[in-house]
């Protein structure tokens, strides 16, 4: 799949997830086979840019692969300005968020709330596309409520405005992340526009990836929650798409090395205090099995880098001895 001048090496993209797809996570997914990883959402409000969180999200030092930066907001002028600033900071693709279902985003009439206002959608897309000379992409949901899935209409507006590719999560805003994603609307969108379409939602196994590609006819897949604690899912999916066979589960030694490297990169990026807290979340995903609940409870009480790393090492040593 191609986005502007950028030829992706395969059909697998990391979905932008606030508080998850920071640079350590993006680089890890790229290493395991993702063709591109979209950054965490950045507000278009310049009043919040002078914070540690925003500065970290706007920095691309050490970034692997194509630098795709997602921005969010509801004011066309602010969105255009945010796109310009992020391109100046090194963004190679600007992605517009019209899919986030979070209340704190929607109450500002941004994210998926914009799907209720096609006129404003058009104004924002036109403003951003005109403001920068890099490809502009868009991420949406299928609509605001199941009774009014207007994804096809929004997709046609996006194509008319010069959007380079469109990612669609197979739920409405009202659905949040409940129930099952549906792909019929994504299929209809793909059939009604000529720009690349990317399917997103509940793609958590190689078999599901194959099904969604075949059912919808989309150009690529976007994987979010399926990669949490499992960055090697991109390698697994690509192998299955190429061969029809499933890879063996990741070796325990590889998992140990990946987890420890991930933790070290979190500590380096955020510093000890914040890094420890981000590590708790990621370790919980890596070990998300019912029998590991006591481990996670103890790990979440640790307050030093040394104790966290030591506990992870002991965990894998015990597995190796059994």
The residue from 182, 216, 243 where one domain ends is 243
State how far the alpha carbon of 289 is from the alpha carbons of 284, 285, 295, 306, in Å: 9, 9, 10, 24
Same domain, 194 and 219: yes
What pLDDT score was predicted for residue 158? 98
What pLDDT score was predicted for residue 292? 81
Binding positions for FMN: 16-18, 70, 139, 169, 200-202, 224-225
pLDDT in tens, the chain (322 residues): 999 999 999 999 999 998 899 999 999 999 999 999 999 999 898 887 877 777 777 777 778 889 999 999 999 999 999 999 999 999 999 999 998 887 777 666 678 889 999 999 999 999 999 999 999 999 999 998 889 899 999 999 999 999 999 999 999 988 888 989 999 999 999 999 999 999 999 999 999 999 999 999 999 999 999 999 999 999 999 999 999 999 999 999 999 999 999 999 999 999 999 999 999 999 999 986 766 888 889 999 999 999 999 999 999 998 888 7
Q: Is 100 a catalytic residue?
A: yes
Same domain, 233 and 295: no
C-beta neighbour count of 304 within 10 angstroms: 10
Question: Which element (helix H / strand E) includes 100?
Answer: none
The residue from 186, 210, 243 where one domain ends is 243
Residues 164-177 have pLDDT tens digits of 999 999 999 888 88
What pLDDT score was predicted for residue 288? 67
Same domain, 211 and 317: no
Can you say whether the dihedral through the CA atoms of 278, 58, 129, 219 is positive or negative? negative
Same domain, 296 and 198: no
In angstroms, how far apart are the furthest CA atoms of the chain? 62
Angle at 301 (CA atoms; ends 296, 304), nearest 5 degrees: 110
- Three-state DSSP class for residue 43: strand
C-beta separation of 163 from 189 below 8 A:
no
Same domain, 46 and 190: yes
The residue from 243, 275, 300 where one domain ends is 243
Same domain, 106 and 239: yes
Catalytic residue among 100, 161, 175, 309: 100
Same domain, 211 and 311: no
Same domain, 111 and 209: yes
Q: What count of residues does the chain have?
A: 322
Same domain, 193 and 221: yes
Binding positions: 16-18, 70, 139, 169, 200-202, 224-225
How buried is 245 (Cβ within 10 angstroms: 0-12 exposed, 13-18 middle, 19+ buried)? exposed
Question: Which element (helix H / strand E) includes 245?
Answer: none
What pLDDT score was predicted for residue 176? 86
Same domain, 123 and 261: no
For 184-234, the DSSP string reads HHHHHHHHH--S-EEEESS--SHHHHHHHHHHH--SEEEESGGGTT-TTHH
DSSP conformation class of 55: H
Same domain, 111 and 194: yes
Q: What is the pTM of this model?
A: 0.93
Angle at 1 (CA atoms; ends 62, 117), nearest 5 degrees: 90
Same domain, 221 and 289: no
DSSP conformation class of 246: P
How many domains is the chain built from? 2
Contacts of 213 (CB under 8 A, 6+ apart): 11, 199, 221, 241
Q: Determine the structural domain holding residue 307 and report its residue range.
A: 252-321
Residues 194-219 have pLDDT tens digits of 999 999 999 999 999 999 999 999 99
CATH number, domain with residue 82: 3.20.20.70
Q: The tokens of 319 are what?
A: 């597995």
Question: Which element (helix H / strand E) includes 41?
Answer: strand 36-43
């Amino acid at each position: 799949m191609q986005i502007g001048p950028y030829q992706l090496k395969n059909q697998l993209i990391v979905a932008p997830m606030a508080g998850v797809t920071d640079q350590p996570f993006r680089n890890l997914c790229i290493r395991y086979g993702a063709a591109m990883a979209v950054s965490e959402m950045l507000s278009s409000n310049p009043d919040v840019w002078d914070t540690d969180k925003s500065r970290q999200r706007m920095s691309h030092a050490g970034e692997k692969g194509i630098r795709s930066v997602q921005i969010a907001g509801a004011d066309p002028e602010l969105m255009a300005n945010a796109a310009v600033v992020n391109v100046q900071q090194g963004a190679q693709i600007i992605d517009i968020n019209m899919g986030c279902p979070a209340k704190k985003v929607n109450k500002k009439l941004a994210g998926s709330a914009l799907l209720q206002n096609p006129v404003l959608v058009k104004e924002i897309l036109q403003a951003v596309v005109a403001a920068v000379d890099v490809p502009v992409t868009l991420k949406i949901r299928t609509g605001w409520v199941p009774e009014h899935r207007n994804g096809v209409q929004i997709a046609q507006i996006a194509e008319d405005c010069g959007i380079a590719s469109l990612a669609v999560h197979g739920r409405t805003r009202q659905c949040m992340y409940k129930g099952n994603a549906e792909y019929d609307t994504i299929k209809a969108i793909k059939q009604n526009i000529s720009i690349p379409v990317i399917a997103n939602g509940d793609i958590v196994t190689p078999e599901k990836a194959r099904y969604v590609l075949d059912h919808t006819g989309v150009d690529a897949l976007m994987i979010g929650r399926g990669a949490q604690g499992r960055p090697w899912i991109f390698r697994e999916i690509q192998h299955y798409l190429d061969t029809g066979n499933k890879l063996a589960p990741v070796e325990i030694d590889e998992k140990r090395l990946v987890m420890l490297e991930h933790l070290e990169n979190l500590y380096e990026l955020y510093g000890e205090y914040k890094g420890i807290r981000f590590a708790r979340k990621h370790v919980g995903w890596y070990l998300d099995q019912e029998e590991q609940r006591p481990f996670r409870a103890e790990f979440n009480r640790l307050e030093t880098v040394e104790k966290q790393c030591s506990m992870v090492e002991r965990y894998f040593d015990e597995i190796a001895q059994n």
